[in-house]
Structure 1
Amino acid sequence: MKKYETTFVLDSVLDNDSIEKEIKKVSDVITNSGGNIIKSEKWGIKRFAYPIAGKQQGFYTYIVFEGSPKTPQELEKIYKLNEACLRFLTVIHSGEEISAVTEKKPEVTTGAK
């Protein structure tokens, strides 16, 4: 089985119970197709750079999973049929964890004496 990662954006007007149901639907598709979820993160509500379907923000969810090559196709079907899903992307997981880069800027001192 290959490792995949999927990120999907739900309409932010959904209440917490509805968001949980939508995430469960995605999880069920993965597990029912013989896959297993490695990591699941709720990134919460984020503002879009531009309006999507007339919306200014959405609820982001990120899942890393193992599955058969048909699993991403099944996920795409449910994403497209779900009106609450504004955007989605499923790719093969590279195996590398992406971490936020935080560089400490060197302190600049003025030479004024």
Structure 2
Amino acid sequence: MNKYELALVVSAKLEDEERAAVVEKAKGYITRYNGVITEVEEWGKKRLAYEIQHQREGFYYFIQFEADAACPAEVERHVRIMDNVLRYLIVRKDAE
């Protein structure tokens, strides 16, 4: 199994419960495709480098997980169409 990191930028206009639901939904996609979540980091509200969907701020989340090679493509396919996700990125982490 490979190690991956999913970076999510979630809309700052959402309430805490809605934001938590967005992150849980993304975590659910990882576990649905046989991924194992190892760590979730919440960096909080940060100013964006440029305006995205008329918003200047977003909440940053970093989800580390282990999965086989097919999982990231499936997770990306679902996260891409989530309404309140401004940006996302899945990267493979190198073995240390």
Pairwise TM-score range, normalised by the shorter structure: over 0.9
Return 3-12 or 29-38, whichever deviates more.
Answer: 29-38
Q: Distance in 2 between matches of 1:50 and 1:32?
A: 33
Whether 2:31 is the aligned partner of 1:31: answer yes
Give the strand-richer structure, 1 or 2.
2
- The residue type equivalent to 1:86 in the other structure is L
Structure 1 partner of 2:65: 65
What is the CA distance between 1:5 and its match in structure 2?
0.5
**Runs ≥4 in structure 1, deviation > 2 angstroms?**
none
Q: Distance in 1 between matches of 2:86 and 2:7?
A: 11
TM-score of the pair, normalised by structure 1: 0.79
- The residue type equivalent to 1:40 in the other structure is V
- The structure with the largest alpha-carbon Rg is 1
TM-score of the pair, normalised by structure 2: 0.92
Higher RCO structure, 1 or 2 (CA under 8 Å, sep 6+): 2
Q: Distance in 2 between matches of 1:62 and 1:51?
A: 21
Q: Which runs of 5+ in 2 are unaligned?
A: none
Structure 2 partner of 1:91: 91
Structure 2 partner of 1:106: none
Q: 8 Å contact 1:64–1:93 — kept in the other structure?
A: no
Structure 2 partner of 1:54: 54
Q: Which runs of 5+ in 1 are unaligned?
A: 97-113
